[in-house]
Chains A and B, each alone.
Chain A
Amino acid sequence: MDENTKLLRALLMQDWDTYNEMVADFERQGKGTPVAIIGAAFHLAVLKRFGDKRDVGDVIRFVAEARTFLSEGRDLPAKEAEAVIFATLDLDLPGVEDVVDRLEVGEIAEIEGQLLFKLVTDERYTDQELDEFLLKAQALTEQWQGQ
C-alpha cells in the first residue's frame, strides 16, 4: 500500500493519530491531496453500490443521506455530488457533463471523498475488507498512470 493509499485509509478509519502524522509528513514533502486514490476508490465504491440498478432516485436519496450524515454545517453541494455519481455511472443526464466539467480536480476530490466516506461506512467493512478495497483502487490508479 503506498503512502497516498495509507493516508486515505487513515482518513476513512478516522485514525486521527496516523492521519495527523501523515499530513505533517506530506507537508514536509510538499505533496498535495491524493486525488488519484480518492477518485479510484470513489469510482469502485459507486459501481459497487449503484452499478447494478443505476437508478437516478437511489442516487438522489443517497446524496441526501450523505449530506445529513456529514453535515454539521459542512457543505456538500447536492447538484455536484449527484453529478459526479451520475458521471461515474454513465448516466449522461442533461447538464451532468457541464457540471462535472466545471469542477476542478481538487473540488472533485473533496466531493468524492465525502461521498466515499458515506459509501464505505454503509458497507461496514472489516479492516481487512477495507484494505482489499483500497488496494484494488490503488491498482486502478497504477493502470492509468502506466506503472
Chain B
Amino acid sequence: MTGGMQDVVRQLCTSIEQFDQAAVIASQAQAAADAAAARYSDVLKGTSDPLANGARSEAEIAAAKAGKTAKLFAQAATALTKYVNHIAPGTLPNRAAPGSSPSGEQLPEVGTRRPPLSRRFLGRTVSVKNSDDGLQHLKKLGDAFKDAGSGGTAQPRPTEPVIRSVPQDSTAGSTLLAALTIALVGVKGAEVLVKLRKKSQPQKDASEENRKPHG
C-alpha cells in the first residue's frame, strides 16, 4: 500500500469511528425519547387534550426516527468497514450484520475503536515493498551481521582462522599451545582465553615486580 493509500485508509477508519459514535448517540437519543414518551403517557393518562396527545405523538415519532437514524449510521459504518478491508485486507475486524446498531455498552468508549497496535504497526512497514533510501538501512544491517557473534543461521559459514589476539611469542612452545587451544575450543574460545589471560597478566606482572630484589 502506498503512502497515499495509507492516508486514505486512515481517514476512512476515522469516518467509521465517527459513524459509530453517531449511531451510539442516535441510539441513546432513541432510548431517551422512548423514556420521555412513556413518562409523558403515564402523566397524561386518560387526558383527551389534543395538545397533550399531539406532543406525545411527536415524542414517539422522534424516538422512532432516532432509532432509524442509528441503524442508518451503523449500516454506513459496516459498509465502509467492508470497503476498507477490500482495499487493505485485514485492517479492521469484520462486523456484525448490517443494520445492527452498536449500543453504548457494546462500544467500550466512543472514539477509541481502532485497530490493535500490532496491526497498525505492522501496516506501517509491510505496506511499502521497498523504502526510498538507496539501500542505506540494508547496508547497515549487512555491516552489523558481519560482526555478529554467530557464524550464521542454517549452516555456519566458515570463518577465517585468523587469530587476532594470540600473542606473537617467538617460542615454539607458545605457538604450539596456541594451535592446541584453537583445536580444542575453537577460534572464539581461544580469543576468550587470551582476554582472560590478559586480565590476569597485570596482576602477575605486579607480583613478579614485588619479588624482584630492590636496591
Which residue of B has the minimal Cβ distance to A131?
B154
* Interface membership of B189, Cβ < 8 A: no
* Interface membership of B116, Cβ < 8 A: yes
Q: Quick check: B127 and A36 within 8 Å, CB to CB?
A: yes
Given known contacts A23-B135, A110-B137, A145 and B155 CB-to-CB distance under 8 angstroms: no
* Interface membership of B140, Cβ < 8 A: yes
Residue-wise, chain A 68-94 has the 8 Å CB interface mask toward B (1 for contact) of 111011101000000010011110100
Task: Return the contact of A109 from the options B88, B131, B134 (Cβ within 8 A).
Answer: B131
Given known contacts A106-B133, A125-B154, A144-B88, A38 and B117 CB-to-CB distance under 8 angstroms: no
Given known contacts A14-B151, A90-B117, A143-B90, A33 and B137 CB-to-CB distance under 8 angstroms: yes
Q: Quick check: A106 and B135 within 8 Å, CB to CB?
A: no
* Interface membership of B96, Cβ < 8 A: no
Query: Which residues in chain A, 106-130, are within 8 Å of chain B measured between CB atoms?
Result: 106-110, 112-114, 117, 120-121, 123-127, 129-130
A4 to chain B: which residues have CB within 8 Å?
129-130
| Range class of the B interface residue count | 35 or more
Residue-wise, chain A 6-49 has the 8 Å CB interface mask toward B (1 for contact) of 01000111111001000100110001111111111011000000
A143 to chain B: which residues have CB within 8 Å?
89-90
Instruction: Tally A residues with Cβ within 8 Å of B.
Output: 65
* Interface membership of B152, Cβ < 8 A: yes
* Interface membership of A63, Cβ < 8 A: no
Which residue of A has the minimal Cβ distance to B143?
A74
Q: Quick check: A27 and B135 within 8 Å, CB to CB?
A: yes
Distance, CA A107 to CA B140, complexed state (A) = 10
B149 to chain A: closest CB distance in Å?
5
Q: Quick check: B135 and A26 within 8 Å, CB to CB?
A: yes
Distance, CA A84 to CA B201, complexed state (A) = 43
B86 to chain A: closest CB distance in Å?
9
Q: Quick check: A96 and B117 within 8 Å, CB to CB?
A: yes
Q: Quick check: A35 and B140 within 8 Å, CB to CB?
A: no
* Interface membership of A105, Cβ < 8 A: yes
Most buried by B among A13, A26, A33, A127: A33
Query: Which residues in chain B, 139-188, are within 8 Å of chain A measured between CB atoms?
Result: 139-155, 157
Please give me the 7 A-B residue pairs with the lowest Cβ-Cβ distance, nearest first.
Answer: A39-B125, A72-B147, A33-B138, A113-B141, A87-B121, A33-B137, A106-B137
Q: Spell out A's residues near B (CB within 8 Å).
A: 4, 7, 11-16, 19, 23, 26-27, 31-40, 42-43, 68-70, 72-74, 76, 84, 87-90, 92, 96-97, 100, 105-110, 112-114, 117, 120-121, 123-127, 129-130, 140-141, 143-146
